[in-house]
């Protein structure tokens, strides 16, 4: 009797569910497609290998980079305004702001927001690192682009407290992003507008 469940498919599907937004049902559909399309799957494997070998996280802002010195193109660009840091939740948010062409400073990717429900120690550590950057690089303004959620607000508060005593202005995006919105779902134009109309806190 032919086996209907293939371990190979399930194993790939299980890995795919690690990607945010992919449930097991979709993951299984993708895994089956990959099983059916060997040429595409081989190319994907090559692309993934290259990604693993060449892509690293920028040691200053946590953006992705292929640069051997560990600094991304934005951090290395002398034409950027090196006195301003925009704090974003994710690399996707950084990309969106870059595409909107309204910002010319540097970035800092937090990798999420502080939550009382989960272990967010890694974010606390990044905020400590942000504090060091503000001091060492003589940053004049930190712009916070975080979700307008309870956890986003908590993070804003925490960053403000951490940077207290540093000679830096702190602003956050105000209008345009409805309360309770996850920043990851805000469109480009709204984000650009929100950035322009930021308020100092
Ligand atoms: Zn960088």
State in Å: Cα 42 to ligand 1 middle.
31
* 47 & 82 share domain: no
**Alpha carbon of residue 102 to chain centroid:** 18
Q: Which two tokens stand for residue 162?
A: 């951490």
Query: Is residue 17 a part of any domain in this protein?
Result: yes
* 39 & 125 share domain: no
State in Å: Cα 109 to ligand 1 middle.
9
Distance CA 56, CA 63 (A): 8
* 80 & 178 share domain: yes
pLDDT in tens, 86-108: 999 999 889 888 888 889 999 99
Q: Supply the pLDDT for residue 180.
A: 52
CA distances to 80, 93, 180 from 89, in Å: 20, 7, 15
> Any idea what the CATH number is for the domain that residue 169 is in?
3.40.1360.10
State in Å: Cα 62 to ligand 1 middle.
6
Structural domain of 98: 71-200
State in Å: Cα 178 to ligand 1 middle.
29
Which sign, positive or negative, has the C-alpha torsion 191, 85, 95, 120? negative
pLDDT in tens, 153-191: 999 999 999 999 899 999 998 644 554 555 555 676 777
């Amino acid at each position: 009797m032919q086996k209907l469940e293939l371990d190979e498919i399930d194993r790939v599907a299980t890995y795919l569910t690690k990607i945010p937004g992919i449930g097991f049902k979709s993951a299984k559909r993708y895994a089956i497609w990959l099983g059916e399309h060997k040429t595409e799957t081989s190319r994907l494997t090559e692309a993934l290998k290259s990604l693993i070998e060449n892509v690293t996280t920028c040691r200053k802002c946590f953006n992705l980079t292929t640069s051997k010195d560990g600094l991304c193109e934005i951090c290395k660009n002398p034409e950027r305004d090196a006195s301003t840091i925009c704090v974003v939740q994710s690399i996707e948010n950084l990309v969106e702001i870059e595409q909107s062409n309204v910002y010319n400073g540097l970035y800092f990717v937090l990798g999420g927001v502080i939550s009382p429900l989960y272990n967010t120690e890694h974010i606390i550590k990044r905020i400590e690192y942000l504090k060091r950057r503000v001091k060492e690089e003589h940053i004049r303004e930190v712009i916070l682009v975080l979700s307008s959620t309870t956890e986003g607000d908590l993070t804003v508060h925490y960053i403000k407290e951490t940077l207290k005593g540093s000679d830096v202005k702190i602003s956050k995006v105000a209008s345009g992003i409805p309360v309770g919105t996850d920043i990851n779902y805000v469109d480009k134009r709204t984000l650009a507008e929100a950035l322009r109309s930021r308020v100092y806190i």
